[in-house]
Amino acid sequence: MSKKKPDAPGMTEIREAAQVLAVAAQNLSLIAKTQEMELAKAIAPIAELYRPALDDAANDQAAALARLKELVDANPQLFRKPRSITIDGVRAGYRKEDDALDWSDEAAVIASIRKLLPDLAPTLVRTQETLVADAVAQLEPKDLQRLGIRRINGADKSFVTLGDSDVDRMVKAIVADAIARAGQDEKTASPKGKAKLKAKAEVGAS
């Protein structure tokens, strides 16, 4: 049985210092974990208290949004000029969608690029032989025509957006901060509830 080799001078002190650091780190982690648990306990009653009212308010907002969108969709002639209206932070109307590109045969377009625009081929064509639409969209109209690519003008499409008020932003900041502090401990209590509230809070936001 071999004997353990004694530590070199100073190594014992280094080991002791490492042990002190390990204990300090464990203590810090324990305190932080305890704080998270206490925060989760403190938040839970408040969230539970306001959840019914928040759900009702979110449902009301969703219904109002759907109704406004329905009215805008049914009356495009009212938004020729001006194109939209703004009422207390709510914008509704029509706006032009981004133009799109279209081609019948991608392989044929790729072959045309390699033949007619060889210097741009690495930028316009991916290695798996698919077109890079964003890059192709930057080509001149004459080059698009030579390559057999059609530009489809964006159509008018209705929209409704709901701007955040100062109060809305403050509430979101408070909720986000509380959830961040609660950490993973709150997941076991009601993970679906938080996701539902967050999803409903974002209804109507652009």
Q: Which pLDDT value is given to residue 201?
A: 41
pLDDT score for 185: 47
- 181 and 81: one domain? yes
Q: Helix and strand tally (H, E) in the chain?
A: 7, 5
Report the domain count for the chain: 2
Burial status of residue 134 (CB atoms within 10 A of its CB: 0-12, 13-18, 19 or more): exposed
Same domain, 30 and 63: yes
Q: Would you say residue 4 lies in a domain?
A: no
| Boundaries of domain holding 39 | 11-96+157-201
28 belongs to a structural domain: yes
165 part of a folded domain: yes
The answer to whether 118 touches 188, Cβ cutoff 8 Å, is: no
Residue 27 maps to a domain: yes
pTM over 0.85: no
Q: 164 and 183 share a domain?
A: yes
**3-class secondary structure, 138:** coil
Residue 115 resides in a domain:
yes
pLDDT tens digit at each of 206 positions of the chain:
556 677 676 788 888 888 898 899 889 989 999 998 998 899 889 888 988 998 899 889 889 999 999 999 999 999 988 999 998 889 999 988 888 888 889 889 999 998 999 898 888 887 667 888 889 989 998 988 888 898 887 777 777 676 665 556 656 666 666 666 655 444 544 444 444 444 444 444 44
Query: What is the DSSP code string of 176-196?
Result: HHHHHHHGGGGGGT-HHHHHH
Alpha-carbon distance of 110 to 125, in angstroms, equals 7
Specify if 166 maps to a domain.
yes
- For residues 169 and 193, state if they share a domain: yes
Question: DSSP label at 149?
Answer: -
The answer to whether position 70 is within a domain reads yes
> How far is the C-alpha of 3 from the C-alpha of 24, rounded, in Å?
32
